[in-house]
Amino acid sequence: MSTAAPLPTAPGRADPPRRAVVTGAAGFLGSHLVEELLARGTEVVGLDSFLTGTPQNLAHLSEHPGLRLVRCDITDYVHVPGDVDLVLHFASPASPVDYLKLPIETLKVGSIGTMHALGLAKDKGARLVLASTSEVYGDPQVHPQPEDYWGHVNPVGPRGVYDEAKRYAEALTTAYRQTHGVDTGIVRIFNTFGPRMRPHDGRAIPTFIRQALAGEPLTVAGDGQQTRSVCYVDDLVRGILALAASDHAGPVNIGNPTELTVRQIAEDVIAATGSSSVVEHVGRPVDDPQVRRPDTTLAAAALGWKPEVDWADGLARTVAWFRDAVVPGAGRAVPPTR
């Protein structure tokens, strides 16, 4: 259990922020955050380079008067005119396929991009929430993982570009809070799934669903006994916005503590899709974590948060979306302003 003392939510933030900036707004998580903020009455400026995200993720919001989507690389100069109450820094390649292909870009967005996001929050007097990750724990030697566990990361391994980018981003965020008084919070996100995941992004659940719907073998790494704790995206968004509405500096784990083996995830996907696919075992990636489960004691105590969508229900929703998803490139996308 984490020894960090929980802080109460801030009574002055009972109302939603009037205007928020979301970096990585066209990504899987970013687009869900944008959607929920708009539903709560917050005006949103979405920044995205579209390196891994796509405007198609926000196509259903194309006519919303509260959304402005801007093509912007957060590692370059960033200017947002007007008042801003909240900055959600969610820009980064997040799947192994992406960050192994884009190692320098991943490190830059974790360092330079985080500095620019913090600078924006400092200039606007806004609260900033940094999207960190359970990957800061590496291949953990403590299980489940509490926030006060320092992790077991290989900085020169193939996954190090993502792990260390996020660890550096946490250190930089903490430095801005302590040195400049920036109001910051850090969320450590555990495995998340739901609609708008890219079928070929390399993560287990979208890969398994894509393979099952195509009648292909589901490629399970190793013997499949390694574990993951998977959280449905709606629950994650509630947790992130609860942290944003608090005074808590974090880090705070947000994830579903229900632990599943990768083999079980694959078998459940086959059952949920009604597929005739079989499981095929392949080699495990280098530094692939053996176990992964969040200790969510702090999130419950400080934020009043716990997951509500169980694995079977979340999986059914995700499979339904994959079945009905618009073909990439079709439909109307939100046009970026530049």
What integer pLDDT is reported at residue 1 of this predicted model? 32
pLDDT at residue 287 in the model: 72
* DSSP designation for 133: E
Residue 16 tokens read as 């939603």
Domains in the chain: ranges and CATH: 19-324 (3.40.50.720)
**DSSP H or E segment with residue 119:** helix 114-124
- Look at residues 115, 222, 225, 224 and name the one whose alpha carbon lies nearest to residue 175: 115
Predicted pLDDT of residue 14:
60
Distance of alpha carbon 167 from alpha carbon 27, whole angstroms: 21
Q: Write out pLDDT tens, residues 297-335.
A: 999 999 999 999 999 999 999 999 999 884 333 333 344
Q: What is the pLDDT of residue 174?
A: 98
Q: Residue 334's pLDDT is what? A: 44
pLDDT at 338: 41
pLDDT for the residue numbered 299: 97
- 3-state SS of the chain: helix, strand, coil percent to 5? 40, 20, 45
Q: Which two tokens stand for residue 199?
A: 């079928």
pLDDT value of residue 96: 86
User: How far is the C-alpha of 237 from the C-alpha of 177, rounded, in Å?
Assistant: 23
pLDDT in tens, the chain (338 residues): 333 333 333 334 667 899 999 999 999 999 999 999 999 999 999 999 999 999 999 999 989 999 999 999 999 989 999 999 999 999 999 888 898 999 999 999 999 999 999 999 999 999 999 999 999 999 999 999 999 999 999 999 988 999 999 999 999 999 999 999 999 999 999 999 999 999 988 899 999 999 999 999 999 989 989 889 999 999 999 999 999 999 999 999 999 999 999 999 999 999 999 999 999 998 887 777 788 899 999 999 999 999 999 999 999 999 999 998 843 333 333 445 44
The answer to whether the beta carbons of residues 290 and 226 sit under 8 Å apart is: yes
What's the N-to-C CA distance of the chain in angstroms? 46
Which run of H or of E encompasses 320? helix 311-324
Q: Which of 288, 5, 316 is nearest to 147 (CA)?
A: 5
Q: Which residues are catalytically annotated?
A: 162
Question: What's the pTM?
Answer: 0.91
d(CA 119, CA 307): 32
